[in-house]
Amino acid sequence: MPEHFKLYLDQMLRLDVAIALRNEGYDVLRASEVGQSRADDRQILEKAIEENRILITLDEHFGDWVILPLSRHPGVIRLKVNPATSDNVINILLHFLRLHSFEHFKSQLVILSPRRVKWVYTA
């Protein structure tokens, strides 16, 4: 249910993505709204954890444990959408989120593309 979802959008996701998610009832916070428009990946993840929000990103570093090790977190959804237009992101994300509850994402890295979903338990 959207009212239980708390999402944190990485800085590369545009305002119209946040607006579309909010219009569907999701609690959305954007990195740029809290002074993280130039934050590095580790800071972005720490803020998502602090806020107990699922991080949504296009950044390939999420999932590369050499660069950014993941442990316990509310969840990370890494989108693999090409082209990464707002419309493409919104369509794939809304469809996917409707199928799951917030609790499904705890300590999970989800790599989401139009044709595939890969769940990786990270804790």
CA distance 2 to 92: 15
pLDDT of 66 reads 45
Instruction: Encode the chain (123 residues) as per-residue pLDDT tens digits.
Output: 455 899 999 999 999 999 999 999 999 999 999 989 888 888 898 899 999 999 999 988 765 554 555 677 899 999 999 999 999 999 999 999 999 999 999 989 999 999 999 998 887
Residue type, 32: S
Question: According to the model, what pLDDT value does residue 114 have?
Answer: 95
Which sequence spans correspond to the domains of the chain? 2-121
Class of domain 2-121: alpha beta
Predicted model pTM = 0.91
